[in-house]
Structure 1
Amino acid sequence: MRRWTIAFGATLTAGLLLAAPPLFANDTTAELTTGGLVYVQTADITMAEEHLHLSRQEVRVDYTFRNDTDKDVESVIAFPMPDITGGAQSDIAYGDPEADNFLGFTVIQDNREIKPRLQQRITATGIDRTEDLVAQKVPLLPYSERTAEALKTLPDDVKADFLAKGLIRIDRYDAGKGWQEDIIPAWTLRSAYWWKTTFPAQKPVKVSHRYKPSVGGTVAMTFIENGKPANEHARYAERYCIDDSFMKTAAKLQVAATKGGPHYTEQWLSYVLTTGANWSGPIGKFRLTIDKGNPKDYVSLCATNIKKTGPTTFEMTADDFTPEMDLHVLFLTAGE
């Protein structure tokens, strides 16, 4: 696989992703089993169109599905959300951390609002440990005040059990008041919204989603140090396709910050795109719009045929598109 990067006025870097470029998530068909949702492929329904709009303030996805058979098709539709892992040393926005629908997810189908159901499971060291938390009445969302309070009240034997299972870790420190400890969630939460629907024979079905994304970030640029690649550089080059041009821009931003210029930090946004391949055939017409919000910000992602369409927006279009990799976007954000 050959990869290359293209710089658009030092505001965006794009690179080839396999033969056809591409986590929030695409709709996918699903089966309801005793273990929860199992994603399946369908030979009956085609995703005729998809317009994906990504920004740090909102994710908007508009689909047109088509049933080309001569019979109505009933199905369960699932929308997997990004994994949320506790214990990350970063600033992450999760909307309302005390609400089950913490990202404000909404569904409109053919101009009618759908009330989807929410499935949530947690894993630690690759093992489903949902029932362990439920038994102790610990909320599943790692970043929640209710979760933090529930963990503080765990009996010592349960705390030891959770620690052995990799559900939590213990941070011990002395902040001038003697030794203290914090119980840090270490589990991963996996969520999926789902609903039942009918695809009428030979008719299009329009589905739209809106929600506030969870955005990760740091207080500095971690892939570069004193103008040179830092330890994180190789991972960033793979995940976000940062190239020499992007590195030169980042180096200039570091120098400018020492002379009174804005201090740049990182933010990340991911989207699960590969579930779009579960429908019959490729996506007929695919359009991706990235909005960086602030003209002073920079953005890098792995994609191809990206074009600048406005002061803060970039767009990619493709016909007969089969997503083969998920989408990860790096924003460099200008501080005050």
Structure 2
Amino acid sequence: MKYVLLFISLLVANPCVANDSIGYLGAGGVEFKKTADISMDKEVLTISRNLIRVEYEFLNTSSVPTKETIIFPMPFYGFDEGCSPQHSGQLEGFKLWVDGIPQGTSRTVRAMLNDKDVTNRLRELGFADQDIAEYRGVEGNCYSGETISSKGAFSENMQVLSKEGLANFDKEGSFVLATPMWKVAYFYSWDQVFPPKTKVRIAHEYVPFQGSINVGYDFAKPAKLKSTYSDLVKEFCITEGTLRAGAEIQGRITTGSSKMPLGGLSGRTVKYILTTGANWAGPIKDFTLNLKKESKDEIVSLCLDGKLKKQDDLTITSHEKNFTPRKDITAIFFYAPLSHPISSDASGYKPGYRKIKNLPTESMGGSK
């Protein structure tokens, strides 16, 4: 029987990523299916803010070769309102190797609205796949004072998009902001043969979306931070040690400057769904999680059942044998703020308005 093997992995601003699993593409979308023949003998998952790499070893335990279609769906993400298509995200540098040999893939797009697939409906309305996935609804700079207008399929279908709940249109001064309400994901696929009683090594890596950034986490005021972001503290198991480390980093960065840029550290989150890894034949025999910081002035915090060990100044590791995933990983990276695309000198700029426009979105830190 032919199965479809499902891989899911991506780091974005608020990504939801998942482990490999058996599945198939039904009429309603991707569905998961267990396999009794192919085991995941090893997984090494390395997560950082700017690169994801996953390495697997699979074993076909049966006595016959099995040919499968491997489906690699990226996580679904939503959009913020926006005015600048130059800030649209696009997955970069997706690379795949099978037994060390580069492998090509096919790619498609899928859009969902309230658990309903609306991809074909958007195409009927004239949306190209790139428009669906990257949001190119309006042009211009919200804060330049110029007149902004919707374009393309957005401008041609405002009434029907609004009526069907596919987009919101908000008038701000002389322009209208179009906000897509659907969520979207890229799907990669390729055919794979699993020889009998033979290990197959699959690796993939990519530069994640440069999505919206949480800003304004002021570690210099830990009590206020805990109160303001109590849900964040709980979700990512932020401890007193995390707060002290953040305060130390923030204090060191602001030494000699008037104040912390954007009011505090920036933050990016990643959610990695491990539980689909339970769909293989037996547990993951050897599992390693590497959380990679890009500098010493970076903090990572997460809730994890397993033990975490400091490998070096930039790497935190967890290692498990015969691992059956029962809980997903959620992690947040705090780091020094980057340059912000909104200038305080721009016309219409509002102090404290910290939302980066037109990007795969998540809730923002700081004020707005």
Q: 1:311 corresponds to which residue?
A: 313
Q: 1:187 corresponds to which residue?
A: 182
**Secondary structure of the structure 1 residue equivalent to 2:238:** coil
**Secondary structure of the structure 2 residue equivalent to 1:105:** strand
Q: Distance in 2 between matches of 1:235 and 1:274?
A: 23
Runs of 4 or more above 3 Å deviation = 32-37, 93-96, 139-151, 153-157, 222-227, 229-232, 247-263
Q: 2:287 corresponds to which residue?
A: 286
Q: Is the 8 A contact 2:77 2:184 kept in 1?
A: yes
Deviation at 1:226, TM superposition (A): 6.5
Establish whether residue 326 from structure 1 lines up as the match of residue 325 from structure 2.
Answer: no
- Normalised by the length of structure 2, the TM-score is 0.72
Q: Is the alpha carbon distance of 1:108 and 1:146 closer, same or farther for their aligned partners in structure 2, counting shifts above 3 Å?
A: same
Tell me the amino acid that sits aligned with residue 22 of structure 2.
Answer: T
1:124-273 correspondence runs (5 A): 124-140=113-129, 144=134, 146-148=136-138, 152-154=151-153, 158-174=157-173, 179-214=174-209, 216-221=212-217, 227-229=223-225, 233-250=229-246, 260=257, 263-273=264-274
Higher strand share: 1
Q: Distance in 1 between matches of 2:95 and 2:133?
A: 22
Deviation at 1:46, TM superposition (A): 0.3
Q: How many residues align?
A: 304
Q: Is the 8 A contact 2:217 2:225 kept in 1?
A: no
Q: CA RMSD in A?
A: 3.2
Tell me the amino acid that sits aligned with residue 332 of structure 1.
Answer: F
Q: Is the alpha carbon distance of 1:223 and 1:131 closer, same or farther for their aligned partners in structure 2, counting shifts above 3 Å?
A: farther
Q: Is the alpha carbon distance of 1:168 and 1:42 closer, same or farther for their aligned partners in structure 2, counting shifts above 3 Å?
A: same
Deviations 1:268-309, CA, capped at 9 Å, x for gaps: 233332222221111000011111111011111122311111
Q: Is the alpha carbon distance of 1:233 and 1:186 closer, same or farther for their aligned partners in structure 2, counting shifts above 3 Å?
A: same
Q: Is the alpha carbon distance of 1:223 and 1:325 closer, same or farther for their aligned partners in structure 2, counting shifts above 3 Å?
A: farther
Q: Is the 8 A contact 1:108 1:207 kept in 2?
A: yes
Deviations 1:181-212, CA, capped at 9 Å, x for gaps: 11122210023322221211111111010111
Tell me the amino acid that sits aligned with residue 203 of structure 2.
Answer: S
Q: Distance in 1 between matches of 2:278 and 2:150?
A: 40
Tell me the amino acid that sits aligned with residue 62 of structure 2.
Answer: T
Deviation at 1:136, TM superposition (A): 2.2
Q: 1:109 corresponds to which residue?
A: 98
Q: 1:7 corresponds to which residue?
A: none
* Larger RCO (alpha carbons 8 Å, 6+ apart): 1
Q: Distance in 2 between matches of 1:289 and 1:219?
A: 25
Unmatched segments (≥5 aa) in structure 2: 1-15, 140-148, 339-368
Q: Distance in 2 between matches of 1:286 and 1:95?
A: 34
Question: Of 47, 69, 76, which residue of structure 2 is paired with 1:76?
Answer: 69
Q: Distance in 2 between matches of 1:197 and 1:65?
A: 12
